Amino acid sequence: MGQLVFFSGTMDSGKSTLALQVDHNHAARGRDGLRFSRSDRAGTGVLSSRLGLRADAVEVSDATDFWAEVVRRRTAGGRVDYLVCDEAQFYSPEQVEQLARVADEMDVDVFAFGITTDFRTRLFPGAARLVELADRVERLQVEALCWCGARATHNARTVGGVMVTEGEQVVVGDTADGGVRADVAYEVLCRRHHMRGLTAARAGAGELSPPTLDLAGD
């Protein structure tokens, strides 16, 4: 039986690098697979890593049907032994269910990679469904670091250099070609600094004063 595995972590934890490595390892053993991605920072139809590694991929859209995609390729005489699905947090819950069905009924291994929560610390619907359905959820062992050196646990969005906690859940930025929104960037923070909205830029500007305690009643 195929398996559905979800590899999760914050940005900068090596998800896309691992996705490319998993694809390489399976292909090296004679298995035939497909790479999928959605809204990759490097553009359409590509799976890329911040280390500079990249490979062509099938671009996922709202209309993508993973079950139909595998059926079409197998009907045409192709082999599909596994799927590597990057940026899986952007998939719809229905698409995640299609991936589970592909694993269960077609004996295809599905390896999904993505972050679990958005810049508001809310679960992405696709990531939530993966946590609910996956045979196992693997937390990436490479720890991303906040600017302060602590383990980064939250993804932050900045617009014009200022951290924001409201807006559309999915906005592509911080890309090689300027992105859909050139003024949008992302960074990872520890919970403490995410709660305070204290980004690396603000820290660099000297905004490091600790919170004031009201001791008037003591």
Catalytic (active-site) positions: 87
Return d(Cα 157, Cα 119) in angstroms, integer: 6
Residue 178, class by beta-carbon neighbours within 10 Å (0-12 exposed, 13-18 middle, 19+ buried)? exposed
Query: Scanning the structure block, which residue is given the tokens 């900045």?
Result: 158
* φ, ψ dihedrals at 6, nearest 5°: -115, 115
Query: Scanning the structure block, which residue is given the tokens 């049907």?
Result: 65
Return d(Cα 167, Cα 160) in angstroms, integer: 14
Sign of the four-CA dihedral 183, 188, 189, 195: positive
Return d(Cα 34, Cα 198) in angstroms, integer: 40
| 3-state secondary structure at position 208 | coil
